[in-house]
Amino acid sequence: MPQMGESIAEGTVSRWLKKVGDEVKRDEPIFEISTDKVDAEIPSPSAGVLAEIIVGEGKTVAVQTVVARIETEKGAAISAAPVAAPAAPAAAPTPAPASAPSAPARTAVPAMAAQPAVAAPRGAAGSFEERIRTKSSPLVRRIAAEHGVEISQLTGSGIAGRVTKRDLLGFLESGAPVPAPSNGGHGAGAPPAPDAHAVSTATAWPGDVVEPMSKLRRLTSDHMGMAIRVATHVTTFFEIDLTRVARVRTAMRAEFEAQTGQKLTYLPFIIQAVVMTLKRHPIVNAAVNGGEIIFRRRYNIGLAVALEPTGLIVPVIKHAEDLSLSGIAKAANDLASRARSKKLGPADAQDATFTITNPGVFGSLMGTPIIPVGTTSILGLGAIEKRPKVVTGPDGEDTIAIRTCAYFFLSFDHKVVDGADADRFMGDLKRTLESIPDKGF
């Protein structure tokens, strides 16, 4: 199990792409994994024959755990045996019972929540566990800070008691009082909190097909549920005339694609205009940290990408303010391509300051997107289509004209972004796009 990022301690084998006895080439994808950041295909470290699968599909194990063996000696006998039980990860100094990799994922939260939320005892082992728990992922630390939860006061289900996102989610959903800082004594007890995915809300009927959520679907469910709890959602809608953008795009398209090899869509123009507008409206490019507002001075634009057959991931264009139109187009196309082929690394889906989602590609006119945790806003783009509009000419006369238009919709966190702030941003974005120069921004 590879180390996919500094903050990632474990991964789930979601699918084996090869079976026992298959020949594999060096760097050929051999299995898929899911982590709390991305899904990825893992290449074979060497050429040979897949001799043994040790960790089966759906099992979660610590990084550096051996998940399979490859026979590299030519002509070696390979016996295609059934998939063996997952190998236990290397023993941690004080492993928590819920961290056993063979335990079903949905039992992790009840096992954690059934224990009182107390500080680890001082001493060699306790100090190690406390360090491990405190060193949770950036997402967990950010959510804990927003809710005033001290991570070291919780008992986690991860490696050596590490507090995972699911642990924190279960604790917050339990409604238990936030434990106060402790000097080694016992904090407030947390009543058992059910795993959000284990709660029965529907019953299967005869003839229904029942299948467990994939790792990606469970993570998306967790993220969306958490996002709706930490932000006060309001959405505002604007219709924007993209006729000038369409003309500029048509004029630039052939030369642009010949020079860069990139398709020129509407999206790079919109991203450029969004970055320009964000600079004038910093509250829309901000984050909330407890009682503080963090005004970001970099512009990392997350792009929601739909995966086949189902799923969603948000890779991020880092420092979009430093990129030209061709740079934005290249970055967007590259991220979308690698997202769909499961080639993204954890860093590719982190640190967004503002997100754009484009349901218009599926024909949607408008929607109310959910704000990603750690940001204050998300912009949605509706279908771009030609519409009859009333246009006032230079002589003051009104005429009916065919215009290229789309609905843009901004969901914002009303805890820190007022309606007037959001509408000023959207009005400014509308003017920026409707007055684009003939040769682009």
CB atoms within 10 A of CB 6: 11
Q: Is the pLDDT of residue 98 over 60?
A: no
Single out the catalytic residue among 197, 334, 414, 423. Answer: 414
Q: Is the pLDDT of residue 199 over 70?
A: no
Q: Name which residue leads in pLDDT, 411 or 197.
A: 411
Can 414 be counted among the known catalytic residues?
Answer: yes
- Distance, CA of 324 to CA of 287 (rounded, Å): 26
Q: Name which residue leads in pLDDT, 273 or 39.
A: 273
As a whole number, the mean pLDDT across the chain is 80
Q: Which of 132-141, 185-194, 419-428 has the highest mean pLDDT?
A: 419-428
Chain segment 170-180, per-residue pLDDT in tens: 677 665 666 55
Judged by average pLDDT, the poorest of 9-18, 19-28, 108-117, 407-416 is 108-117
Beta-bridge mates of residue 90: none
Mean pLDDT of 355-370: 96
Single out the catalytic residue among 186, 319, 322, 418. Answer: 418
Can 418 be counted among the known catalytic residues?
Answer: yes
